[in-house]
A and B are shown apart, each in its own frame.
Chain A
């Protein structure tokens, strides 16, 4: 299994440009999430999905859109990039086992710089 994969690894955008960060998992996990990581602020939840066709907002959703058309894929779209969106983005997936939701598996991250 490849686990959780993310593309691209690095990206530089100009203010106002749009782009999509890709995330895929091959573990048949129900739950997928997007986080951003900024120095001194830990990981903050942007959006999450509990299954194909179902998404919801996290702590910091403004400026981002998501969709989940398949179990495997959960892309994150930046509609009009702003310098405040410069960050490292992590995608994660997890599933619900007998004891409750199990651990999250993180992708390798995408380092985004908005000029």
Chain B
């Protein structure tokens, strides 16, 4: 099955600096890569996603890049703010036969701390 590795497990940055979280996946058939943010005691919530036909996607201060050849994708957060502090999960999924259900495999998460 799919295996997703995520680095680093913890990350501390000064407010205003950039944060980068990297993930690699094992199955070249994976075609959908979402990123989730989970605040303490809350549910995971999607912050950005990318499909395999796109190399980069941006949404305000966050961006995701995908390198299909190397099988890795990254989350970039610029101008970090204290409210960005949370655990971030990457995930990879493979579309089922006929475009059906995708079994999603998650990375272990990165705890981001933004220091004011």
Contact = CB atoms under 8 A, between A and B. Distances in A.
Contact of A45 (B9, B104, B108): B104
- The number of chain A residues touching the other chain, given as a range, is 20 to 34
Interface residues of B, number: 28
Contact of B46 (A31, A58, A99, A104): A104
A43 interface: yes
Nearest to B34: A103
Contacts of B99: 96, 100-101
Contact of B101 (A50, A90, A99): A50
Contacts of A74: none
Contacts of B93: 101
Interface of B: 1, 6, 9, 31-32, 34, 42-46, 49, 51, 89, 93, 95-96, 99-109
Interface of A: 30-31, 33, 35, 40-45, 48, 50, 58-59, 90, 96, 99-101, 103-104, 106-109
